[in-house]
């Protein structure tokens, strides 16, 4: 089907009302033009109300204009782009007055005028002077830390054995006393001394001497320590034995000893082994345990010398011994006794390990971190696993 061209031309020519005219599309807005339009809405508000838009909770439009203006003012790039449109100077920070006289001269509303006894240079309703502590606690080196170090070792061991636990502090500060262990900032601390106590606003107040396991100390205020406890710290409970004693129960003295011995054998084969030590445990005293060492194969049928002993709870002594044996297994010396060609006894508790390294392992075991380390049989030292 075809359309007569003359007929179409006649329709267009007779379109008196321009119904067939094609409207011209407006050019797309740019980010700059949208920013200008948004700012001009703010300018229109200022012209109408004589002030900048505020956070008016009763007028959502004014609230939105206020936040829009705040966003523009806080953006140097937008301020620069709108500088030529800022006819009210809302984007320019006003120059500060050069003097008090200038401030008073520009007080058109008389806000600063004197009124009877009112004087802007006289301070009223100002809080009184805050009383500062006479001394500020700071961490410093603990000169006698060696006296406290065994306490930290024992506390770690008791935490590991479940005899102590970590609890949230008492809001009434009743748990902060001399002899208390605590954890603050991930560091174990010990309250060695509590100074003269006094009551301030109904609460305890005193200076504390706190020793920390990293070898430092501080004379922190009791309430400052309490505040640190409330903000993520922990109190270490007393040992279960002490608790039972306070409750009136009799507690068995179940202590054992981990011992380190050195052989006094004259056998050249024994003397040729460097740093040969026996690591074992007893529920009695080590001195009693080795009285007949020369007659026992476990002592290589020779007298021995006590190198070191470590007091431990008898209930876990054998476990501690097993851990140390596994830790030094690469340096273990298995001595086999035979009779008529058959094995009759084996001494497995002897290790070629320097005494200082054994002591270090015991310290790691007490602190519960021994699993992070291993014994290097070539260098005969302890190192971090994987290093």
Q: What percent of the chain has pLDDT over 90?
A: 13
Most confident stretch, 13-22, 107-116, 167-176:
167-176
Reported as a pLDDT band with limits 50, 70 and 90, residue 252 is very low
Length of the chain measured in residues: 387
CA angle 343, 346, 348 (to 5 degrees): 155
Position of tokens 């100390």? 217
Least confident of 8-17, 218-227, 286-295, 314-323: 8-17
**Per-residue confidence (pLDDT) for residue 113, from 0 to 100:** 60
**Per-residue confidence (pLDDT) for residue 128, from 0 to 100:** 57
**Per-residue confidence (pLDDT) for residue 247, from 0 to 100:** 46
For the chain, what is the radius of gyration of the CA atoms?
42
List Cβ neighbours of 219 (8 Å cut-off, separation of 6 or more): 135, 137, 207, 208, 209, 210
Residue 223: pLDDT above 80?
yes
**Per-residue confidence (pLDDT) for residue 351, from 0 to 100:** 92
The predicted-structure confidence for 69-99, as pLDDT tens digits, reads as follows 888 888 888 888 888 888 888 887 766 666 6
Q: Which residue has the higher pLDDT, 38 or 61?
A: 38
DSSP 3-state assignment of 260?
strand
Residue 261: pLDDT above 70?
yes
Residue 345: pLDDT above 60?
no
Region 42-68: mean pLDDT is: 82
Mean pLDDT of the chain: 78
Give this prediction's pTM: 0.38
Taking the C-alpha atoms of residue 188 and residue 216, their distance in angstroms, rounded to an integer, is: 11
**Per-residue confidence (pLDDT) for residue 134, from 0 to 100:** 47
Taking the C-alpha atoms of residue 32 and residue 80, their distance in angstroms, rounded to an integer, is: 11
Joined together, the tokens standing for residue 285 give 């005293």
**Per-residue confidence (pLDDT) for residue 2, from 0 to 100:** 46
Taking the C-alpha atoms of residue 346 and residue 297, their distance in angstroms, rounded to an integer, is: 8
Joined together, the tokens standing for residue 282 give 């007893």
Residue 210: pLDDT above 90?
yes
* Residue 207 DSSP class: B
Give, to the nearest 10 degrees, the angle between helix 60-73 and helix 31-49.
120
Residue 131: pLDDT above 60?
no
- 140-141 β-sheet, strand order: 140-141, 216-218, 208-212, 187-194, 181-184, 234-236, 166-167
Joined together, the tokens standing for residue 284 give 């009695």
Least confident of 172-176, 260-264, 318-322, 326-330: 172-176
């Amino acid at each position: 089907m075809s359309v007569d061209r003359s007929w179409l031309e006649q329709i267009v020519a007779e379109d008196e009302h321009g119904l067939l005219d094609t409207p011209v599309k407006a050019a797309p807005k740019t980010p700059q033009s949208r920013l200008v339009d948004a700012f001009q809405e703010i300018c229109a508000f200022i012209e109408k109300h004589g002030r900048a838009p505020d956070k008016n909770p009763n007028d959502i439009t004014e609230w939105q204009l206020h936040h829009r203006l705040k966003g523009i003012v806080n953006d140097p790039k937008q301020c620069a782009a709108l500088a030529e449109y800022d006819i009210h100077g809302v984007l320019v920070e006003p120059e500060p007055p050069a003097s008090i006289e200038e401030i008073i001269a520009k007080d058109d509303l008389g806000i600063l005028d004197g009124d009877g006894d009112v004087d802007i240079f006289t301070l009223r309703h100002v809080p009184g002077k805050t009383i500062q502590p006479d001394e500020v606690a700071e961490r410093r080196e603990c000169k006698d830390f060696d006296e406290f170090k065994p306490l930290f070792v024992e506390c770690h061991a008791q935490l590991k054995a479940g005899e102590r636990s970590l609890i949230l502090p008492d809001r009434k500060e009743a748990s902060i006393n001399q002899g208390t262990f605590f954890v603050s900032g991930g560091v174990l601390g010990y309250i060695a001394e509590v100074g003269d106590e006094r009551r301030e606003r109904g609460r305890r107040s005193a200076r504390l001497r706190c020793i920390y396991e990293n070898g430092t100390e501080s004379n922190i205020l009791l309430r400052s320590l309490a505040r640190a406890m409330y903000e993520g710290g922990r109190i270490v409970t007393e040992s279960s034995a002490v608790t039972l004693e306070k409750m009136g129960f009799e507690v068995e003295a179940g202590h054992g000893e981990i011992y380190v011995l050195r052989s006094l054998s004259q056998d050249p084969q024994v003397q040729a082994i460097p740093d040969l030590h026996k690591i074992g445990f007893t529920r009695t005293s080590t001195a009693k345990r080795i009285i007949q060492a020369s007659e026992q194969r476990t002592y290589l049928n020779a007298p021995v010398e006590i190198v070191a002993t470590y007091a431990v709870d008898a209930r876990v002594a054998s476990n501690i011994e097993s851990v140390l044996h596994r830790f030094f297994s690469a340096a273990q010396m298995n001595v086999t006794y035979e009779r008529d060609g058959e094995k009759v006894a084996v001494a497995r508790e002897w290790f070629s390990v320097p005494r200082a390294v054994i002591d270090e392992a015991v310290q790691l075991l007490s602190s519960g971190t021994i699993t992070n380390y291993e014994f290097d049989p070539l260098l005969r030292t302890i190192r971090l696993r994987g290093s």
